[in-house]
Chains A and B, each alone.
Chain A
Amino acid sequence: MPNDLSQIGCTNTPVLKQRGQHEVFCGLTSIIWLHRKMHDAFFLVVGSRTCAHLLQSAAGVMIFAEPRFATAILEETDLAGMADAHAELERTVAELLSRRPDIKRLFLVGSCPSEVIKIDLATMAKKLSEKYDNRVNVVNFSGSGIETTFTQGEDACLEAVIRDLPQTDQTQLAVLGALPDVVQDQMLRLLSDMGLENVLVLPHARADTPAAVGPNTHFICAQPFLGAAHDEMVRRGAKPIAAPFPFGAQGTTAWLAAIAKRFGVDDATLQAAIAAPKARAEQAIATVAKTLVGRSIFFFPDSQLEIPLARFLSQECGMHLTEVGTPYIHRALVGPDLDALPSDIILSEGQDVDKQLDRVLDCNPDLTVCGLGLANPLEAQGLRTKWAIELVFSPIHFYEQAADLAGLFARPLLRADLLKVGKVA
């Protein structure tokens, strides 16, 4: 059933909220990309064997070499009060830092068990920061599954980073959200072509990168899941810039235009900076969109990228949206994207996975975006799927990646047409 495109705008669409089993990762999963992004940071999860097992399983691969994350696994004695958990943690951190003298930032990451038994990581972080004065900055945040889902781990981490930044009165643009290096460089080139040189990207790669915030900082999010980081920036006096997220040609243009407007960049300069990459992107999207146009798509809640991606697929690739599910709707962040969605979709927040599975089978969309736990079972029932986690791990932002992003959705459909052997699982 195609969307009625005469009715655009989802701001007032009623939100379907069901409470049942969630089938999403917890925030600890964010560590898998954050530790690659922050080159001198170590992430120490204070948790259980389950946390450690999740971290090595969630990415689908194990990372060779010694990664810059680990788990301090709680044992029976830590629970029974036989050992002071705080003293134990101090010992564990000392062990870790003696092995990794290159570490400049240590994140103590809270988990479900550490929060239930109320280990005070904030106090620990303060204490350890004093102990390792001038050598290691110790910060805490929560990646627990009782507080956070999946990408909210990055949000919580960034919130903690921002809380610790020094104050500045300098006028600057801050961009929030971890991006692949190649994408970040493209973005900085675009902004530079627009005449914006003073750009702070958070999280910053190294502890000694000059980074500060204040009332003359204007900030924009590059990722839609940064609600808490957004609010922390506002608390620090920084001024938010609202825009659709920079996916596809239109999304990227609108995002850059919002920055241009805030910084008084004239239209001629903006057009000069974006004309060539925008035209390239539009052309490239048009080629890939041939596979997507008129096909229907269903989103399970996963990374909070769902609403902006639905906007891109509907507006720029001609796909029909059926249900768009997302773990949380931060209207301050995704409002502009919601405004551009057709009104006749099911917009759902949170999850009862069994009921949602009933709906997807009823709806029988051409493509279903879902987590790794659901993908093969749905394929076996005849649906085409796209794993949501790939959208978090792949370069998908801005003009040069626009067609790649469309390609991620086209590939399962093309593949289904290619295979002539049937699929009896």
Chain B
Amino acid sequence: MKLSIWTYEGPPHVGAIRVATGMQKVHLVLHAPQGDTYADLLFTMIERRNHRPPVTYTTFQARDLGSDTATLFKSACLEAYERFKPDLLLVGASCTAELIQDDPGGLAEALGLPIPVVALELPSYQRKENFGADETFFQIVKHVAKPVERSENISCNLIGPTALGFRHRDDILELTKLLDDLGVDVNVCAPMGATPADIADLGRAHFNVLMYPETGEMACRYLERALGQPYTKTVPIGVGATADFIAEVGQIIGKQDLASTVRSRLPWYSASVDSTYLTGKRVFIFGDGTHAMTAARIARDEIGFDVVGLGCFNREMARPVRTMAKSMGLDALISDDYLEVERAIADLAPELILGTQMERHIGKRLGIPCAVISAPVHVQDFPARYSPQMGPEGANVIFDTWVHPLVMGLEEHLLTMFRDDFEFSDSAGPSHHAAHAPAQQRAEVETGQSADTNIIWLKDAESELRKIPFFVRGKARRNTEKYAADRGVAEISIDTLYEAKAHYAR
């Protein structure tokens, strides 16, 4: 049993629903109690979909358990087929139905429907949402994709985008444009937008672009084995990664001379003098493995941040995330425990969090600005405007998204210089972006005594501390107290404060 307050991922059947909802002419019959229908609102509300997800839930009740839930499942399958006339039927069970062991696959097969029926194994008590999506799409591909003749023009499939994905809608468009510039056609994009007939046609492509390893890697590996299609390993988020992706595509299609200049504004915006203040800003990065790793590279190499923490919530990506963290001199945080992530952030006191909606909450509580880089998604992650993460435009979007929550350039200096200005208080936060500014916590310890040690802050030192910008004040307080405690100093004076500052100077 695991005590959980917030979860980063839903159960595996939600992953299956993401695949089914992303596709066309597919229907999922899920053996599940009525409460599980909440999943529909993820799609209709958060993603603002204009259709119900193509899912029939059997909604069995306690009184059905004694009698015949299997019959209920079979009639639900038949009615769903009659009503929705899908080209492919997925069948599976949610957590409760897994316990009653009705064997949806066997039951559905016995119905003899004239369409392919794909039975899903979704181990609810071991795995999670991303696995469910990855597995579901893999099963569909395995059942439907067959060897076909390659297309005349060089083409690829875009693999991995699903319903309810973080910016998948716009990444597809951006990558399609980028590939078009390289002279590569997109044969099929799947699961998002694909029909079962499109899946049968996957083999026409010369290679696959694995957009999101979380939801498409199993299918890509299978297609490599079964249809001899190589797949790209670089996820083109960021300028450097996009250039690497272009080079990788060139290698696959045997064109080494593909132009690798990525036409993004990020490099110049980053080089321009106003960005100097970004130098060495301490950032904490957390999300799904793919987005966290791409963010870490951008943060370090393209914006000049100091990455002080890196982690992911999906254990499947633990190994590469650990390797990357190590290369940055860090220990990766691999955890789906929201409280553990919160503790890590509080301890590190970063100046910016690049995280999920969960970390946005944490940032609000701790008074640290946050930009969202990864699922789990929120209605805000489906903006009306075009805002991809991948490719050249993705890099532009990322630059803006990360920099806007921060206090900008000269404003930061003014805040430091005129701390006591009656109209120019640091509690106001960044002036230009109220909507994104974190609510500043004013819960400063007013008494002279430190919260968890017996060290006394002298009055002068206490007011000097308050002149330090709010976003580093907590860190300064802790550093000073640690410095004092390590040296057996019982009272903190202005001198102690500045000695500690010098000691910890980076």
Minimum CB distance partner of A89 in chain B? B1
Inter-chain contact total with CB atoms closer than 8 Å: 187
Check if A60 sits within 8 Å of B41, measured CB to CB.
Answer: yes
Check if A49 sits within 8 Å of B44, measured CB to CB.
Answer: no
Minimum CB distance partner of B51 in chain A? A377
Check if B14 sits within 8 Å of A72, measured CB to CB.
Answer: no
Stretch at the interface among A6-14, A140-148, A178-186, A315-323: A140-148
Check if B44 sits within 8 Å of A22, measured CB to CB.
Answer: no
Stretch at the interface among A101-109, A212-220, A262-270, A368-376: A368-376
Check if A62 sits within 8 Å of B36, measured CB to CB.
Answer: no
Check if B42 sits within 8 Å of A112, measured CB to CB.
Answer: no
Say yes or no for B502: interface residue by CB 8 A criterion.
no
Say yes or no for B386: interface residue by CB 8 A criterion.
no
Check if A57 sits within 8 Å of B35, measured CB to CB.
Answer: no
- Contact residue among B4, B40, B48 (Cβ-Cβ distance under 8 Å from A23): B40
Check if B96 sits within 8 Å of A57, measured CB to CB.
Answer: no
- Shortest distance from the beta carbon of A383 to any chain B beta carbon, whole Å: 12
Which chain B positions have C-beta within 8 A of A57?
10, 38-39, 41-42
Q: Which of B43-72 contact A (CB under 8 A)?
A: 44-45, 48-52, 56-62, 65
Q: Which of A24, A145, A354, A377 counts the most chain B CB atoms within 10 A?
A: A145
Minimum CB distance partner of A147 in chain B? B62
Given contacts A76-B126, A92-B3, contact A372 B41 (CB under 8 A): yes
Minimum CB distance partner of B379 in chain A? A60
Check if B62 sits within 8 Å of A73, measured CB to CB.
Answer: no
Check if B95 sits within 8 Å of A50, measured CB to CB.
Answer: yes
Say yes or no for B425: interface residue by CB 8 A criterion.
no
- Shortest distance from the beta carbon of A303 to any chain B beta carbon, whole Å: 14
Which chain B positions have C-beta within 8 A of A50?
10-11, 13-14, 35-36, 94-96, 124
Q: Which of A46, A57, A66 counts the most chain B CB atoms within 10 A?
A: A57
Q: Which of A43-89 contact B (CB under 8 A)?
A: 46, 48-50, 52-54, 56-58, 60, 62, 64-67, 69-76, 78-79, 83, 85, 88-89
- Shortest distance from the beta carbon of B131 to any chain A beta carbon, whole Å: 11
Which chain B positions have C-beta within 8 A of A83?
1
Check if A149 sits within 8 Å of B34, measured CB to CB.
Answer: yes
Say yes or no for B319: interface residue by CB 8 A criterion.
no
Q: How large is the interface on B (under 10, 10 to 19, 20 to 34, 35 or more residues)?
A: 35 or more
Given contacts A58-B38, A60-B45, A73-B1, contact A116 B65 (CB under 8 A): yes
In the assembled complex, the Cα of A24 lies from the Cα of B365 at a distance in Å of: 33
Say yes or no for A309: interface residue by CB 8 A criterion.
no
- Contact residue among A22, A62, A145 (Cβ-Cβ distance under 8 Å from B357): A62
In the assembled complex, the Cα of A343 lies from the Cα of B398 at a distance in Å of: 60
In the assembled complex, the Cα of A220 lies from the Cα of B3 at a distance in Å of: 37
Given contacts A21-B59, A64-B365, A113-B95, contact A53 B37 (CB under 8 A): no
Check if B4 sits within 8 Å of A376, measured CB to CB.
Answer: no
Say yes or no for B7: interface residue by CB 8 A criterion.
yes
In the assembled complex, the Cα of A28 lies from the Cα of B38 at a distance in Å of: 11
- Shortest distance from the beta carbon of A389 to any chain B beta carbon, whole Å: 9
Minimum CB distance partner of A28 in chain B? B35
Check if B35 sits within 8 Å of A21, measured CB to CB.
Answer: no
Say yes or no for A96: interface residue by CB 8 A criterion.
yes
Check if B96 sits within 8 Å of A21, measured CB to CB.
Answer: no
Minimum CB distance partner of B56 in chain A? A21
Check if B11 sits within 8 Å of A377, measured CB to CB.
Answer: no
Check if A88 sits within 8 Å of B1, measured CB to CB.
Answer: yes
- Shortest distance from the beta carbon of A38 to any chain B beta carbon, whole Å: 18
- Contact residue among A62, A95, A146 (Cβ-Cβ distance under 8 Å from B61): A146
In the assembled complex, the Cα of A70 lies from the Cα of B308 at a distance in Å of: 30
Q: Which of A110-148 contact B (CB under 8 A)?
A: 112-113, 115-117, 144-147
Minimum CB distance partner of B123 in chain A? A76
Given contacts A21-B59, A48-B124, contact A53 B41 (CB under 8 A): no
A-B contact pairs, 21 of them (CB 8 A): A20-B79, A22-B34, A23-B34, A23-B37, A29-B35, A29-B38, A46-B1, A50-B96, A50-B124, A53-B10, A54-B35, A56-B7, A57-B39, A71-B3, A71-B4, A75-B2, A113-B96, A149-B34, A371-B41, A374-B40, A377-B44
Extra inter-chain contacts (16) besides given A49-B7, A49-B9, CB under 8 Å = A23-B34, A29-B38, A48-B124, A52-B4, A52-B7, A54-B35, A65-B365, A72-B3, A75-B2, A146-B61, A146-B65, A146-B96, A372-B41, A373-B45, A376-B49, A377-B51
By Cβ-Cβ distance, the 3 closest A-B pairs, closest first, are A26-B35, A145-B35, A373-B40
